[in-house]
Chain A
């Protein structure tokens, strides 16, 4: 499984590497921290500024238009940096991915278009709504075009009572609700994008159909496999016995670290096993040939086949156990042939 995933990792690194080597890493990380700070500050300040009744700090900051504009600018800048960066990364990541379904492909296309759009559209919308919100709280309606021009800024405007609806604040409330909804939709879009990206990457990294992992302890798995193979060998059906022997060999191989893959044919598994010098090639080949005959033909199978399968399994499991697990216990189980049978059968019955 690891060697399946490996070629993908370096490719990502390779794609990112030119960026790192082109710019100075220190400047780059500094820029990143600055971006995060700007975004955070923008969010905090803008959140306070956009509250018409005084903001987070309790001061009526929102009443000063220049400051409010600055906060909105900050927020817009932060959003542009954060979402813009994410959109660029997203596009770079998914450009070469082939989705598992056509639906996922379309979703990916849509996300690749919507994310940059959101990065630009939200700041623009913020400026639009910001102007309206600015004029909103002071003027009751549009009928009065410039209500604040001749009035000096009121230093002690008492915040409106919660229960008492002010005509201007109702408009700003609507705008806030709209803005909140827009923000929520965009957040959901970003989350969907992230989830989609992760899923696509997981799908790509997953090997064809991973088979369940072998039992945790190698020695246990090995001993269990040999015991099971032997129990099958003592049965009356020679064909099932040979097949079970091979299955035991598969399990032993899996326990010793050779992964089993669903698309593998017996020979492919054998070839991969032979690359491992812990596997005895002669016996592995013999057992595989016996298995193929038992599994895919209707030839009559007799005691000679079973005894050959038993010999091969003994030799294989013995060598695997020797080389995989130094502790003496599994070696005796695997190598001590008749003892293992007796113990296994005795324990079984």
Chain B
């Protein structure tokens, strides 16, 4: 693993980029959710120039980036996962590192380790590839749990503790991990605790034949391996977008709706272990990011519904019978989303909480007057 310059060596450009975010928050303009959404859409459009036909996956990863979480991309090799991650790094102007996880990878290969400096005669910490802004953890389920766990603290706390000292990671810090869904020999499936730390799980899927043909045609026309993407944002702007996310308002009824969905996963007969409270938080934040990406500063039930499966499916454990019958968590969640009642037409405050359509319009005038 190559050494990565970090905070103690401020003359490198990467470190300056890394410091720009948290160090100068006042310089980044305060964005409204609409403005942040506009810039986020520009980033998405730029990335879609390189990643053809994966607009849904690109948008989902963007939501994860905006919501300040880590993304797990679960799919087969060769579907463009690395391209996706690298395009995000380029378009957002983030420092990018990639770790290829292998069965013999050690935790110190990820986090970095102290080494002996002969000139000074001291042990000096040499940061690992984790000290970056966007980390692509490729095939994370091919490494033993010990190395997987080395990522845990970094992902949850944004810091690394090595040799008794705790070091902050640069901000923003994003992990995009890929995992192979096929059970190979020599893979170590991610434990629930680690899965829970990913804000969302994305599946890429194969392109349709038409899109695949146009992807090949684009490659032939371009005559270069990959399109050159432009940097349309910056780490500071990304942090400002995240700050704008906090100004997306959430109605009380929608909070209850999220809670109802999360509770439904805990009480369903087909689910052994339901979603954690962290799952509810993730769902709300992702839904807010979706609202922002669509240029709204308020949440709607559609946002919650659209993100329920990406935010919760990897957090639930199905009963063994379903596992045998190859029913996917996504399908179970889709069924829950289709059965849990959405917020009613009339807000509770208006007094129409008991029935939705039929007494709604009749009660409404009374409440309005």
A342 within 8 A of B: no
Contact B358 A251 (CB under 8 A): yes
Not counting A98-B269, A244-B364, a sample of 8 additional A-B residue pairs whose C-beta atoms are within 8 angstroms of each other reads A209-B341, A228-B365, A235-B369, A244-B365, A247-B357, A247-B361, A296-B251, A296-B299
Chain B proximity of A176: nearest CB distance (Å): 45
Chain A proximity of B312: nearest CB distance (Å): 16
Some 22 contacts from A to B, beta carbons below 8 A apart, are: A211-B356, A211-B357, A212-B357, A213-B358, A214-B357, A231-B365, A232-B364, A236-B369, A243-B364, A247-B360, A250-B356, A250-B357, A251-B360, A254-B357, A260-B356, A260-B357, A263-B339, A266-B300, A266-B302, A293-B298, A298-B249, A299-B298
How far is it, in angstroms, between the C-alpha of A212 and the C-alpha of B360 when the chains are bound? 12
Contact B337 A263 (CB under 8 A): yes
Convert B288-300 into 0s and 1s, putting 1 for each residue whose CB lies closer than 8 angstroms to a CB of A.
0000000011111
Contact A266 B301 (CB under 8 A): yes
**Chain A residues within 8 Å of B55, by CB:** none
B3 within 8 A of A: no
* Interface of chain A residues 221 through 277 with chain B (CB within 8 A): 224-225, 228-229, 231-232, 235-237, 240-241, 243-244, 246-248, 250-251, 254, 260, 262-268
Q: Could you list which residues of chain B lie within 8 angstroms of chain A, going by C-beta atoms?
A: 249, 251, 254, 269, 296-302, 305, 337-342, 345-347, 350, 355-358, 360-362, 364-365, 367-369
Contact B355 A228 (CB under 8 A): no
Q: Do A297 and B298 contact each other (CB < 8 Å), given the known contacts A263-B342, A265-B342?
A: yes
**Chain A residues within 8 Å of B249, by CB:** 297-298
Contact B305 A265 (CB under 8 A): yes
Contact A240 B360 (CB under 8 A): no
**Chain B residues within 8 Å of A297, by CB:** 249, 296-298
Contact B361 A225 (CB under 8 A): yes
Chain B proximity of A208: nearest CB distance (Å): 4
A205 within 8 A of B: no
**Chain B residues within 8 Å of A214, by CB:** 357-358
**Chain A residues within 8 Å of B368, by CB:** 232, 235-237, 240-241, 244
Contact B297 A240 (CB under 8 A): no
A28 within 8 A of B: no
A292 within 8 A of B: yes
How far is it, in angstroms, between the C-alpha of A294 and the C-alpha of B345 when the chains are bound? 11
Contact A232 B365 (CB under 8 A): yes
Give which listed residue, A211, A213, A235, A291, contacts B365 with CB less than 8 A: A235
Chain A proximity of B266: nearest CB distance (Å): 15
**Chain A residues within 8 Å of B298, by CB:** 292-293, 296-299
A295 within 8 A of B: yes
Nearest B residue to A244, CB-CB: B364
Contact A248 B361 (CB under 8 A): yes
Give which listed residue, B297, B350, B356, contacts A262 with CB less than 8 A: B356
How far is it, in angstroms, between the C-alpha of A197 and the C-alpha of B263 when the chains are bound? 29
Contact B341 A263 (CB under 8 A): yes
Nearest A residue to B362, CB-CB: A228
The 9 A-B residue pairs with the shortest CB-CB distance in the complex, in nearest-first order: A297-B298, A240-B368, A262-B341, A244-B364, A265-B301, A235-B368, A228-B361, A247-B361, A247-B360
Contact A264 B254 (CB under 8 A): no
A102 within 8 A of B: yes
Q: Do A247 and B300 contact each other (CB < 8 Å), given the known contacts A214-B358, A263-B341?
A: no
Contact B361 A229 (CB under 8 A): yes
**Chain A residues within 8 Å of B345, by CB:** 243, 246-247, 250, 291, 295
Contact A244 B297 (CB under 8 A): no
How far is it, in angstroms, between the C-alpha of A262 and the C-alpha of B356 when the chains are bound? 8
Give which listed residue, B305, B338, B347, contacts A295 with CB less than 8 A: B347
* Interface of chain A residues 274 through 321 with chain B (CB within 8 A): 291-293, 295-299
Chain A proximity of B339: nearest CB distance (Å): 4
**Chain B residues within 8 Å of A235, by CB:** 365, 368-369
**Chain B residues within 8 Å of A98, by CB:** 269
Chain B proximity of A27: nearest CB distance (Å): 38
Contact B361 A251 (CB under 8 A): yes
**Chain B residues within 8 Å of A299, by CB:** 298
Most chain B CB neighbours (cut-off 10 Å) among A102, A237, A296, A298: A296
Contact A250 B360 (CB under 8 A): yes
Give which listed residue, B342, B355, B362, contacts A264 with CB less than 8 A: B342
* Interface of chain A residues 97 through 111 with chain B (CB within 8 A): 98, 102
Nearest A residue to B336, CB-CB: A263
How far is it, in angstroms, between the C-alpha of A28 and the C-alpha of B121 when the chains are bound? 97
Give which listed residue, A209, A212, A244, contacts B361 with CB less than 8 A: A244
How far is it, in angstroms, between the C-alpha of A162 and the C-alpha of B116 when the chains are bound? 113
Give which listed residue, B340, B347, B367, contacts A263 with CB less than 8 A: B340
Give which listed residue, B254, B347, B355, contacts A243 with CB less than 8 A: B347
**Chain A residues within 8 Å of B305, by CB:** 265, 268
How far is it, in angstroms, between the C-alpha of A262 and the C-alpha of B301 when the chains are bound? 12
Nearest A residue to B339, CB-CB: A208
How far is it, in angstroms, between the C-alpha of A211 and the C-alpha of B365 when the chains are bound? 21
**Chain B residues within 8 Å of A225, by CB:** 361
Chain A proximity of B368: nearest CB distance (Å): 4
Chain B proximity of A174: nearest CB distance (Å): 47
How far is it, in angstroms, between the C-alpha of A209 and the C-alpha of B344 when the chains are bound? 13
Chain B proximity of A280: nearest CB distance (Å): 19
Contact B338 A208 (CB under 8 A): yes
Chain A proximity of B131: nearest CB distance (Å): 41
**Chain B residues within 8 Å of A267, by CB:** 300, 302
Chain B proximity of A224: nearest CB distance (Å): 8
**Chain A residues within 8 Å of B339, by CB:** 208-209, 263
Contact B364 A296 (CB under 8 A): no
How far is it, in angstroms, between the C-alpha of A12 and the C-alpha of B364 when the chains are bound? 44
Chain B proximity of A272: nearest CB distance (Å): 13
**Chain A residues within 8 Å of B302, by CB:** 265-268
Nearest A residue to B304, CB-CB: A265
Give which listed residue, A229, A247, A295, contacts B251 with CB less than 8 A: A295
Most chain A CB neighbours (cut-off 10 Å) among B298, B338, B364: B364
**Chain B residues within 8 Å of A262, by CB:** 341-342, 356
How far is it, in angstroms, between the C-alpha of A299 and the C-alpha of B33 when the chains are bound? 13
